[in-house]
Amino acid sequence: MAAFFCANFRSLLAKTYESMEYSVHTLEQLRNGELAGIKRLELSENLTVFPKEIYRLSDSLEILDLSSNQLDDLPSDLAENLPNLKIFFASNNVFKHVPPVLGQCEQLEMIGFKHNQIMSMAEDCLPEKLRWLILTDNQLDSLPDAIGQCTRLEKLALAGNRLTSLPDSMSMLRHLALVRISANRLTRFPDVLLTLPKLAWLAFSGNPFCPERQTHLEFPLLPSEHLALKEVLGNGASGIISRAQCASGYKGFPDNVAVKVFRGEVTSDGYPADELDACLSVGSHPNLVNALAHVQEPEMSALVMTLIPSDYKNLGQPPSLQTCTRDTFTQGQSFTKGEVDHLVSQIESVVRHLEDKQVCHGDLYAHNVLVRPDGHLLFGDFGAASKYDNLSTRQKEGVRTIERRALSYFIEDMQSLIVGSTGMGVTNRPKENVIM
């Protein structure tokens, strides 16, 4: 079954990739002059050395994606030759440090080094205009104090490193709204995060200071041999959700269920094992996707849930490169005030339930909400959830304040979608693909 899952997962990624607005380019196209004037360049050819031919795009290039290569450094003259560069991706390479030349790129707003081997960061490696920094799944044990100078920073992804503390200078990051520090080596909750006035989405599970995972004997263990995966329903950072058929009459389980098979490795949100623990810890609620059982086997970990009827649709879409931390919505999407009030009252009930269980969801977004035509909503995706029952009273209140801030942004977004609304929110923001 694990092999079946992996095949389905690769197939889904391939389909997703093919549907992206931007295609992968080739060095041959670049050398032949076929790419003159493009704003986004994506090269993945097992490169070991930065191709200087990229400099031919000096006047136009704004987004450079060199993910899935074998690069370990960038040329020292990159900043002067790519003066318009705003976004740089280098995930799945072999960098051991963040190249200092990036700090000289005056227009650079987004940097992504997910799945590398980064162990160090120089004080001058980050540009002042930086809004979005992705360092997921590396080997960092500390951050430079100079990160506090990136006062425009809104999104910081640090899950899956070796951090033992966060610098006090982070108190200067007054625009920081999303932080991922799960799966690190923090022995104490970083109180500096509680001082940030815009922080709304926080994930911190999988650190030594966190409470232990529970066995959840109240939920049955379901052998995978009694499940047959069918069509894929959706995917997240930690795994893929599929419809599954349960062996007829097996211990009273429904014939059709939803199964989320976890990938097993660290994700942008943390460890899948912590997601499973948090999801089972919160129990049932009318507006949560109900967990029925879980699978714990050497080759597979999975969550078995109630199958959501097909008439439930996504309320929102994930943030784009432009919106950074705020959701996007489909063109023309709107609601009446009564419909918005009904949606808000349900999500407020969920937040109170999570607070009672001392679990922070960490990803309270409209894109994690499904809505039925009659307005009933279901909230899910606990990939960024963190338990906090062992924190001090002050820290618990701080974590709740952060989650309540996400709730206030959700309410703001919903109100901006009210028919005739003149609010600043997010109506008609375009959906756009983002590499995380």
List the one residue out of 184, 102, 198 whose CA is nearest residue 142.
184
Taking each helix axis as running N to C, give the angle between helix 393-416 and helix 337-357, from 0 to 180 degrees, rounded to the nearest 10. 160
Q: Which two tokens stand for residue 35?
A: 């790419």
Q: How many C-alpha atoms does 63 have within 13 Å on its Cβ side? A: 16
Cβ count near 430 (within 10 Å): 12
C-alpha span between 236 and 323 (Å, rounded): 20
Contact 427, 333 (CB under 8 A): yes
Distance CA 246, CA 257 (A): 7
Q: Please state, in angstroms and as integers, the Cα–Cα distance from residue 384 to each residue in 246, 267, 387, following that order.
A: 28, 10, 10
List phi, psi (to 5°) of 348: -65, -40
CA 254 to chain centre: 31
Name the residue with tokens 């932080």: 179
Neighbours of 108 (CB within 10 A): 24
Indicate the helix (H) or strand (E) that contains 400.
helix 393-416
Tokens of 187: 């022995």
> Which tokens in the block code for residue 257?
């269920």
* Residue 260 assigned to a binding site: yes
**C-alpha to C-alpha distance for 419 and 336, rounded to whole angstroms:** 6
Greatest extent of the chain over all pairs of C-alpha atoms, in Å? 67
Residue 2 per-residue DSSP state: H
End-to-end CA gap in the chain: 27
Q: Summarize the annotated binding site for ATP as residue ranges.
A: 260
Binding residues: 260
